């Protein structure tokens, strides 16, 4: 970068750091996309029993329906975040919103498991444009660190609100309409986002981005999808030649991706970001947290509806306290982190979640509503504190020009953790479930149907004499609960490990207290003034 460019960038810092008029209105539109993603994730879990009954997916197909979205979105997030930095984050957000809405219709009217898997994969492509764009736009809308912390808290709270609204709204829809209706609720939200967002969201991009490197895009996609697929297949079927080949190809692609980024003048992902200990620690904490939580969350709706035999609306209300806790914690997280410390809030939040998951090891068919609500509320509080502060750390650690790519790394960790969690912890549940011994006298075809999935067991029980059907269903439910208890124990270990890692890696990390030009310059603004590609190693916000 020339000296003139660097001087111009430094000279314009004061102008850039002035509060943007209309930034709060723009934020209110941006969080619609986050709300949509939260709703979409949770309603799919509630719709799984109905979808299983209609489309008749196998157990493996059901897992693919649950995690193919995360696989694809994880493989494309970095590429899409970098693309937004180049062509404009607002433009990419609006294009992705239109595509997401259209693909929701495709998912709603899927007639086979294969069509549903394809619809979810394509939604992953569109979804990869949404989350990095919203966070990066927040980074460029809010320059005052305290305002940005509050904005990120609202962003996270709306994601949690989506997860709260999703089960309740989904439960209502599933009680009155067919399962595809849970996807069609995306359409009015997307329409509002596109129409209003086009007017109130300011465009932002990297002013000197360089070309979008297609080989890097392909390497990141092949690498992430190959590795995740290998882990998933090995967890379900054991190590075989196909999973081994996928692992080799995936790891090789990722190695080549990293090497290529280090040689490009305009890399898709600036690898120097990972030299910042706070950035790396926040990303690792996010990945491990979601890994430990997602597998359990994926099966929670099935536990509530097909073990405890609750209605969809009742199941959604039981899950509501988790989102309520996360909303409150997310809004307070920045304030608390400034008065305690980043590592106390993040590590403490993760430890609380881990201990709550350990409590889930005692789940059984007649666990009471109050106990479930208390556990889920505590999980929500811990996760709300941790995720909001790590998002703030990640955005504060990078120059504004690279906000899209950095946000994409954060979201990649989230989606990769979700995919791995569903694959690994979901496989624990599936393997435990499929190993149950059917009661004597149950016909072979009914046993095969019951072992395919818990939904299959409910269907099979309905075709048998009452006493025999009840015995088969009870056996299947007990096996499912045993698998969920085991997965909760593994998740607890992962979360406590994440807490320990966060305590070490986030040592000395602070959130900035004031905007640049008010007496304290954040490290990220100093880096931005010097130009992209230079990331210091100390914590942001220090004088």
pLDDT of the chain along its 543 residues, tens only?
444 444 444 444 444 455 555 678 778 878 877 777 767 666 676 677 777 777 877 777 777 787 777 778 777 877 887 777 778 888 888 888 888 888 888 888 888 888 888 888 888 888 878 777 777 777 777 777 777 778 877 777 776 666 666 667 777 777 778 888 888 878 887 888 888 778 777 777 666 667 777 888 888 888 888 887 787 677 666 678 877 888 899 899 999 988 888 888 778 777 777 777 778 888 888 888 888 877 666 677 778 878 888 877 787 788 788 878 887 888 788 888 888 888 889 999 999 989 988 888 887 878 888 988 888 899 888 888 888 888 878 777 766 666 666 777 777 777 677 767 777 787 788 777 777 777 777 777 777 777 777 777 877 777 777 777 888 888 888 888 888 888 888 888 989 988 998 888 888 777 665 444 443 333 333 333 333 333 322 322 222
- Identify whether residues 259 and 339 lie together within a single domain: no
- Identify whether residues 326 and 258 lie together within a single domain: no
Question: Is 348 contained in some domain?
Answer: yes
- Identify whether residues 204 and 234 lie together within a single domain: no
Q: What is the CA radius of gyration of the chain?
A: 23
- Identify whether residues 284 and 303 lie together within a single domain: yes
Please, what is the end-to-end C-alpha distance for the chain in angstroms?
Answer: 27
**What domain range includes position 305?**
21-213+264-530
Distance of CA 464 to the CA centre of its chain: 41
Integer CA distances (angstroms), 262 to 15, 79, 98, 255, 474, in order: 32, 16, 34, 11, 57
Q: Which of 198, 193, 186, 189 is nearest to 91 (CA)?
A: 198
- Identify whether residues 249 and 275 lie together within a single domain: no
- Identify whether residues 424 and 486 lie together within a single domain: yes
* pTM reported for the whole predicted model: 0.70
Name the 3-class secondary structure at 441: coil
In total, how many domains does the chain have?
2
Question: Is 343 contained in some domain?
Answer: yes
- Identify whether residues 234 and 363 lie together within a single domain: no
Q: Are 269 and 406 in contact (CB under 8 A)?
A: no
b/e string for 225-261 if b means 16 or more Cβ within 10 A?
bbbbbbbbbbbbeeeeeebeebbebbeebbebbbebb
- Percentages of the chain per state (helix, strand, coil), in multiples of 5: 80, 0, 20
Q: Are 380 and 321 in contact (CB under 8 A)?
A: yes
- Identify whether residues 153 and 250 lie together within a single domain: no
């Amino acid at each position: 970068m020339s000296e003139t460019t660097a001087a111009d960038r430094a000279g314009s810092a004061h102008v850039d750091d002035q509060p943007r008029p209309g930034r709060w209105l723009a934020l209110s539109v941006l969080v619609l996309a986050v709300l949509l993603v939260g709703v979409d994730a949770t309603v799919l879990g509630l719709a799984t029993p109905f979808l299983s009954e209609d489309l008749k997916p196998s157990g493996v197909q059901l897992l693919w329906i649950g995690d193919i979205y995360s696989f694809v979105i994880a493989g494309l997030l970095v590429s899409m975040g970098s693309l937004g930095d180049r062509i404009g984050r607002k433009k990419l957000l609006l294009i992705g919103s239109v595509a997401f809405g259209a693909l929701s219709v495709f998912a709603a009217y899927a007639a086979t498991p294969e069509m549903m898997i394809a619809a979810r994969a394509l939604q992953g492509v569109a979804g990869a444009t949404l989350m990095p764009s919203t966070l990066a736009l927040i980074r460029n809308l809010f320059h005052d660190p305290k305002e940005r912390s509050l904005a990120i808290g609202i962003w996270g709270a709306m994601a949690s609100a989506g997860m709260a609204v999703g089960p309740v709204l989904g439960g209502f829809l599933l009680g009155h309409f067919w399962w595809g209706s849970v996807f069609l609720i995306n359409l009015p939200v997307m329409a509002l986002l596109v129409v209003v967002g086009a007017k109130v969201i300011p465009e932002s991009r990297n002013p000197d981005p360089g070309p979008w490197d297609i080989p890097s895009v392909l390497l990141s996609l092949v690498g992430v999808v190959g590795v995740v697929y290998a882990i998933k297949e090995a967890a379900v079927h054991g190590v075989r030649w196909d999973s081994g080949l996928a692992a080799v190809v995936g790891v090789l692609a990722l190695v080549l991706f990293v090497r290529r980024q280090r040689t490009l003048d305009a890399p898709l992902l600036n690898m120097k970001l990972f030299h910042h200990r706070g950035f790396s620690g926040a990303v690792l904490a996010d990945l491990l947290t979601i890994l430990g939580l997602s597998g359990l969350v994926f099966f929670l709706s099935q536990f509530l509806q097909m073990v405890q035999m609750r209605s969809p609306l009742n199941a959604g209300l039981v899950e509501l306290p988790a989102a309520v806790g996360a909303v409150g914690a997310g809004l307070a997280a920045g304030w608390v982190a400034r008065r305690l410390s980043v590592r106390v809030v993040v590590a403490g939040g993760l430890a609380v979640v881990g201990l709550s998951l350990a409590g889930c090891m005692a789940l059984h068919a007649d666990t009471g509503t109050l106990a479930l609500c208390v556990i889920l509320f505590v999980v929500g509080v811990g996760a709300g504190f941790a995720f909001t502060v790590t998002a703030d750390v990640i955005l504060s650690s990078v120059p504004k020009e690279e906000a899209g790519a950095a946000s994409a790394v954060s979201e990649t960790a989230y989606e990769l953790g979700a995919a791995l969690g569903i694959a690994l912890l979901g496989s624990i549940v599936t393997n435990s479930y499929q190993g149950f011994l059917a009661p004597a006298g149950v016909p072979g075809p009914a046993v095969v149907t019951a072992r395919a999935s818990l939904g299959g067991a409910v269907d099979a029980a309905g075709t048998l004499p009452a006493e025999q059907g009840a015995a088969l269903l009870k056996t299947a439910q007990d096996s499912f609960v045993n698998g969920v208890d085991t997965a909760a124990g593994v998740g607890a270990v992962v979360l406590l490990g994440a807490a320990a890692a966060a305590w070490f890696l986030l040592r000395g990390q602070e959130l900035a207290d004031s905007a640049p030009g008010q007496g304290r310059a954040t490290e990220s603004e100093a880096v931005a003034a010097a130009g992209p590609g230079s990331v210091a190693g100390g914590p942001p916000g220090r004088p």
